[in-house]
Copies of this chain bind each other. A is one copy, B any other.
Amino acid sequence: MTETAYPNEARQEAATSAGGERKRGIDRVIILLEALLRQRAPMRVGDIARLIGAPRSTTYEIVNRLLEADMLETVGADGHVYFGRAMHLFGWAYSHHNAHYPRIVETLDRLAADSGETAQLCGLRGNKYVVLDCRDSTGPFRISSQVGVEVPIPWTASGRLLLTHMSDEAVRAFVPAEDYRLPDGRVIPQEEFLADIALARRQGYSESAALADRFTWCLAAPIRDGRGSVTLTLCFVLPVDTPEPRRIELLAMLRERTASLDLMGE
């Protein structure tokens, strides 16, 4: 794990006003953790300070406190830090608070194992889509995905399912206008997106080709919580040239197994 996940777009998180604004510790902590999550790699304290736009002295203070608490951990010998074991335990507690989570993960495992394709567990974070867990394809040409990276909702098949509990009006208010613009510059008309959501609601699944990128075909199916809302989805991420019969077969597998997770209270 020596390379950063993405071409390092060293944008500053909070340095809109470079001038010294005093911020409280909690805010610094939150910004720091989010920055580490985006970086997806251990960082040195000096770099963290620069990235989050905090004074070096403050950053040392905070990092040391978080190290003490095990929320951060030193990595290697040259002052890099990354998330610590406490975070694992907090995160585990979060996931497993839903008593059915182990079954969901088991289903994810089996989907990936039986198909050999990349499978993901997806949800929302604020008004963005995130991958919560994944099993990468075993094939030679892996389509791997980034857990924790926020993606505009309209870029994804799962995103359509995750908004099925909302009215058109609510969706319009929820999704930022700029999120309709795809990475390649195409813009999805809002009405088309709303129709996609309605279709996903009727069908009980969602499918999208070459949406976020030109190489993938996504199949997504909803996991309904106790009140019938879709808060999680399972999906396959396939090469875009996957033959139709294969796609149909995989969709059936996905829908069948995901449906068996329904009707479970959260």
Closest to A29 in B: B26
Closest to A2 in B: B99
Question: From residue 19 to 44 of chain A, which have CB atoms closer than 8 A to chain B?
Answer: 24-27, 29-30, 33-34, 36-37, 40, 42
Find out whether the CB atom of B96 lies under 8 angstroms from the CB atom of A90.
no
With an 8 A cutoff between CB atoms, is A109 at the interface? yes
Find out whether the CB atom of A36 lies under 8 angstroms from the CB atom of B93.
yes
Find out whether the CB atom of A24 lies under 8 angstroms from the CB atom of B27.
no
Instruction: Name which of A24, A40, A73, A91 has the most chain B CB atoms within 10 A of its CB.
Output: A91
Q: Name the one of B66, B71, B94, B99 contacting A84, with C-beta atoms under 8 angstroms.
A: B94
Q: Name the one of B24, B73, B75, B147 contacting A89, with C-beta atoms under 8 angstroms.
A: B147
Stretch at the interface among A124-132, A163-171, A174-182, A251-259: A124-132
With an 8 A cutoff between CB atoms, is A83 at the interface? yes
- Kindly supply a per-residue 1/0 record for chain A positions 56-89, scoring 1 wherever the CB is within 8 Å of any chain B CB and 0 otherwise: 0000001001100111010100000011111111
Find out whether the CB atom of B97 lies under 8 angstroms from the CB atom of A82.
yes
Find out whether the CB atom of A94 lies under 8 angstroms from the CB atom of B85.
yes
Closest to A61 in B: B26
CA distance A86 to B71 in the complex (A): 13
With an 8 A cutoff between CB atoms, is A123 at the interface? yes
Question: From residue A105, how far is it (CB to closest CB) to chain B in Å?
Answer: 9
Find out whether the CB atom of A26 lies under 8 angstroms from the CB atom of B25.
yes
Find out whether the CB atom of A148 lies under 8 angstroms from the CB atom of B93.
yes
Closest to A150 in B: B89
With an 8 A cutoff between CB atoms, is A95 at the interface? yes
Find out whether the CB atom of B83 lies under 8 angstroms from the CB atom of A91.
yes
With an 8 A cutoff between CB atoms, is A6 at the interface? no
Find out whether the CB atom of A126 lies under 8 angstroms from the CB atom of B70.
yes
Q: Name the one of B33, B88, B94 contacting A95, with C-beta atoms under 8 angstroms.
A: B88
Question: From residue A22, how far is it (CB to closest CB) to chain B in Å?
Answer: 13
With an 8 A cutoff between CB atoms, is A92 at the interface? yes
Binding site for B on A (CB under 8 A): 1, 24-27, 29-30, 33-34, 36-37, 40, 42, 62, 65-66, 69-71, 73, 75, 82-99, 109, 123, 125-126, 130, 132-133, 147-148
Provide a sorted-by-A list of 24 A–B residue pairs whose CB atoms are within 8 angstroms. Answer: A1-B97, A1-B98, A24-B25, A25-B25, A25-B26, A26-B29, A30-B66, A30-B69, A34-B86, A42-B97, A70-B125, A82-B94, A84-B94, A85-B132, A87-B91, A87-B93, A88-B91, A88-B94, A88-B132, A89-B125, A89-B132, A90-B90, A92-B132, A93-B148
